[in-house]
């Protein structure tokens, strides 16, 4: 089973990568780095929370694991 700290670190790193991509895409789509960056921050915050919850749920499910 994965520790909570490991799940949080993985989610944080993934979110940072997503933040960078979303900021670029948002900036291109809106023509404004400020608006694109704000959209990316909101999306990253929501995504980080949902990803940690998702990972913790799957960490507690034994289905498909070989011990």
Q: Model confidence over 10-60: pLDDT tens digits? A: 888 988 998 899 999 999 999 999 999 999 999 889 988 998 899 889 888
| 64 has pLDDT over 80 | yes
Q: Are 36 and 25 in contact (CB under 8 A)?
A: yes
* CA–CA gap between residue 32 and residue 10 (Å, rounded): 30
Can you say whether the dihedral through the CA atoms of 51, 55, 61, 62 is positive or negative?
Answer: positive
**Model pTM score:** 0.67
Domain ranges in the chain are 4-59
């Amino acid at each position: 089973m994965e520790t909570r700290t490991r799940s949080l670190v993985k989610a944080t790193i993934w979110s940072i990568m997503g933040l960078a991509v979303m900021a670029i895409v948002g900036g291109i789509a809106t023509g404004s780095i400020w608006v694109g960056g704000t959209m990316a921050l909101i999306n990253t915050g929501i995504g980080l929370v949902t990803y940690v919850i998702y990972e913790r749920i799957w960490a507690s499910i034994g289905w498909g694991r070989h011990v």
